[in-house]
Structure 1
């Protein structure tokens, strides 16, 4: 049995350029992996079934789950017919703007590549993952990247900047599709923010990065879900620090340059609200399998 970690991501920038003829939106965003992760155990079965067992009863375990879709796609591409057992421990909140499902799919692809010793490169796995979802290619590699197109065209970035991430989970379900549909032409941009963010990361400017975080969808989600906006205002009043949203939400986050500051913010928030998690940036994960268990 093999263990793969499926790391969550946050958006350091998210700009939408236009609505594409295929119905998707053209985006330009900086994505960053953080150490909050689901745990994905993989093993062969004696039959030919793909079976997913997980610790969250409200999540489907059939073909609607991206982890199962990833296993099906892997077998289609490789011609492998062996059964696959997937045991999934969910720690990343569902539908939270943290790419939990996409990261699970990426972990399955990476893990099956090791389990069956198929020798596929990360680039090949990323191309495969793009058929499942726009965030899956990024989740194959992890670390930091500028994502363009639908999110599947990646420019990977290696930088020395390490920041701590305070995550706050509003207990609200946000529909990504609805938020994208609510975008107006005035929300589309021509001047993207990714290059400024990457420059600050490369220069290790930990003081500037939190103030360069940008998400064009944040005001749309806040308008559609006033409770998320109210929570963001409360977090900002407690931390006296910029509060941001990842993806289409609803997860909120603050960035801190030191573990001491992060702990102070964490302790202050824990005194007044639930669902606060302390995390940090992680770098390239495409070759970081956790081995056999």
Structure 2
């Protein structure tokens, strides 16, 4: 059998403005999406029966939940409900994970007689503001498209992604974009490819739903204009204050990153608790990584894609 491997890199919200709550229950957003060069890995191949295996350092954190439907599986702005904690690693029941939801939707649209063996290498912490299951679902769609000879630009792939969760279309595009609406209406942007990037998570899972519920409901205006870095710096993450109320340790991460030498921008990503910093050199990034690691926090030294 021929296997296809696809990266599921960490998603970063360089800015995230919440404008208002929509009648459909989502929130109107403006966000600057960017992606790391590292993250999870998805491998798919054709098989006689469907199978789903989870490996990697965060495999034990993933539960294959029962009765999760594609329409509600992916959380708005990226995290919280698309990963579920407290289950063993290894072979997982087929239904319930965003990876298998993506596979079911793909096969229904493109290959109704096909079965697949899927392996997810889970390197990113769950419920952490950096894409989680959304990135995994998007990588699964890209891998299946390659396996079955479907164009990566086929509009049916985007429709499937949009049905899986608000962040999945951005993760499917896997490039720097401006996201509006639920975050799923995308405009390509020239980003900062190669910029040294450090992700830091203090080991706290934060519920996206709880963060949105704690948001103060105040529209503080749109994302700034200008070149990419300037507009990111002049903008903000409106979910950081409510996330701080739920997980005060985020402030400690921000303090460490804000004070680091060579930092260009430091902020919380998504609904937290992962924070990021962009640096002017790999050396500066690595010094900050050592300091964060010494606190017992999860780190990912990487670069922007």
TM-score normalised to structure 2 length: 0.82
Question: Which position in structure 2 is the counterpart of 1:221?
Answer: 243
The CA deviation string for residues 69-108 of structure 1, in whole angstroms up to 9 with x for no partner, is: 0000001112422111101101111111001211111111
CA contact (8 A) 1:30 1:145 kept: yes
Alignment partners' CA distance in 2, 1:275 and 1:182: 26
Question: Which position in structure 2 is the counterpart of 1:211?
Answer: 233
Q: Which consecutive residues of structure 2, in runs of 5 or more, have no partner in the other structure?
A: 65-91
Question: Which position in structure 2 is the counterpart of 1:184?
Answer: 216
The CA deviation string for residues 226-269 of structure 1, in whole angstroms up to 9 with x for no partner, is: 12223333443455855310000000111102222222322333
- State which of 5, 14, 32 in structure 1 corresponds to 2:7: 5
- State which of 279, 283, 303 in structure 2 corresponds to 1:256: 279
Alignment partners' CA distance in 2, 1:210 and 1:113: 33
Question: Which position in structure 1 is the counterpart of 2:179?
Answer: 147
TM-score normalised to structure 1 length: 0.85
Secondary structure of the corresponding residue to residue 131 of structure 1: helix
How far the C-alpha of 1:35 sits from its partner, in A, is 1.2
Alignment partners' CA distance in 2, 1:54 and 1:102: 16
CA contact (8 A) 1:256 1:262 kept: yes
Alignment partners' CA distance in 1, 2:34 and 2:272: 15
CA contact (8 A) 1:6 1:103 kept: yes
- Bigger Cα displacement from structure 2, 208-217 vs 166-175: 208-217
| Count of aligned pairs | 270
The CA deviation string for residues 179-214 of structure 1, in whole angstroms up to 9 with x for no partner, is: 11111222x23x212x43xx322xxx6xx5773352
Relative to structure 1, the CA distance from residue 77 to residue 58 in structure 2 (aligned partners, 3 Å threshold; closer, same or farther) is same
Runs of 4 or more above 6 Å deviation: none
Alignment partners' CA distance in 2, 1:99 and 1:139: 8
How far the C-alpha of 1:164 sits from its partner, in A, is 1.3
- State which of 261, 275, 286 in structure 1 corresponds to 2:298: 275
Secondary structure of the corresponding residue to residue 192 of structure 1: coil
Relative to structure 1, the CA distance from residue 237 to residue 182 in structure 2 (aligned partners, 3 Å threshold; closer, same or farther) is same
Relative to structure 1, the CA distance from residue 185 to residue 210 in structure 2 (aligned partners, 3 Å threshold; closer, same or farther) is closer
Question: Which position in structure 2 is the counterpart of 1:24?
Answer: 26
CA contact (8 A) 2:33 2:179 kept: yes
Quick check: 1:116 aligned with 2:148? Answer: yes
- State which of 229, 245, 255 in structure 2 corresponds to 1:233: 255
Alignment partners' CA distance in 1, 2:274 and 2:191: 25
CA contact (8 A) 2:193 2:303 kept: no
* 1:19-168 alignment runs, 5 A limit: 19-47=21-49, 49=50, 51-55=51-55, 56-59=59-62, 60=64, 61=92, 62-119=94-151, 121-159=153-191, 162-168=194-200
CA contact (8 A) 1:213 1:244 kept: no
Q: Which consecutive residues of structure 1, in runs of 5 or more, have no partner in the other structure?
A: 283-293
Relative to structure 1, the CA distance from residue 87 to residue 141 in structure 2 (aligned partners, 3 Å threshold; closer, same or farther) is same
Question: Which position in structure 2 is the counterpart of 1:286?
Answer: none
- Bigger Cα displacement from structure 2, 115-124 vs 51-60: 115-124
